[in-house]
Amino acid sequence: MREQELVRWLSRRNPAIGDDTAELALHGRQVVTVDSQIEGIHFPAGLDEALIARRLARVNLSDIAASGAQPSHALCTLAAPRDFDHRRFLDTLVQEGKTYGFELVGGDSTTASTVATSLSLIGTLDRHTRFVGRGNGEPGDVVWVGGPLGMAGLGLYLQQHLGIELSRGRQVNVPRQLAKHAATVRRAVLTHRLPQPQLELGRWLGRRRRVAAIDVSDGLGKDLGRMCEAGGHGAVVDAASLPLPRSAKQLAEAIGLDSLELATGAGEDYVLLFALPRNVRPPASLGATAIGHLTETTRVLLDTGTELRDVSNAGYDHLE
């Protein structure tokens, strides 16, 4: 398909697309984020175009959620081989917008030997919502996490080292030796491939008087370290409180992985990590778990019950 044909097709689905710029009617305060997905770094060659689009949208939505905002508009850049199914990718991205409340208003496309795509996402803060930054915590605040830790890292390992794949129909090929863990294998792979942005939790956080937050993309240790650095404090995390399902621990043990290392350093969980004053608790319906507290020191320590382990740098570094 030629580029102009693709633009015409997409503009029929969304009239805001077609010019070199898009006119936006924005109200209140905006936040902006950008994130990318690159073949060979974030996903393997040959991955379904729809899965690439969904993952691209959701990793960006996770950043918007951590700010307390709600998504409104997006711009996408896409570099891909000629045989890449552009329509499937863009159609899925438009559908993700309808699901999560943002409109794809433009972008750019070009030909490349491998797939590289990025999304710039704009979010809006209403008059009742504060911008949630990383540096608003204080020593004594309770540290919470919005969902399981380590499940996505487990899913990534299963794909990279055991050849487990997710099909276009979201079917997972489970090896015979892991048959008794089949449900957990599927959950882990789907958690990695299709993160669930916690926009409702982010909205609740944005209406608190004081809160610090970040999403866990590079690992609990590294991302909590970033939050602590922004606020000039440290943290102690209780290893026994980390929310990794028992079934995931059993699967990790079966394939020779340390579940504690998964929970603290594997990354790509895309759940919200936040600190609140001791007298403030998120509603139980939001599924958050208290895992520790902020301290006067500048280190992130993991209390295993027998030692305090420094995990400030546990996680993924994009430039190493």
| DSSP per-residue codes, 188-219 | HHHHHHS----HHHHHHHTTSSS-EEEE-SS-
pLDDT for the residue numbered 286: 97
pLDDT at 19: 63
122 near 27, Cβ under 8 Å?
A: no
Indicate where the chain has its CATH 3.90.650.10 domain(s): 142-310
CATH 3.30.1330.10 intervals, the chain: 3-125
Output the pLDDT for position 313. Answer: 83
Q: What's the confidence (pLDDT) of residue 170? A: 74
Write out residues in the chain with pLDDT < 50, as ranges: none
CATH class of 142-310: alpha beta
Cβ atoms of 150 and 271 closer than 8 Å: no
Distances (CA, A) of 137 to 169, 203, 294: 43, 18, 8
Distance from C-alpha of 64 to C-alpha of 55, rounded to nearest angstrom: 14
pLDDT of residue 20: 67
Task: Provide the pLDDT for residue 267.
Answer: 86
CB 96 within 8 A of CB 65: no
Cα(212)–Cα(138) distance, integer angstroms: 9
* pLDDT score of 116: 98
Architecture field, domain 3-125: 2-Layer Sandwich (3.30)
Alpha carbon distance 151, 154 (integer Å): 5
- Of the candidates 201, 234, 194, the one whose C-alpha atom is nearest the C-alpha of residue 66 is 201
* Residue 312: predicted pLDDT: 85
pLDDT on residue 155: 93
Alpha helices in the chain (DSSP H): 3-13, 49-67, 86-100, 151-162, 182-193, 199-205, 220-231, 246-254, 259-265
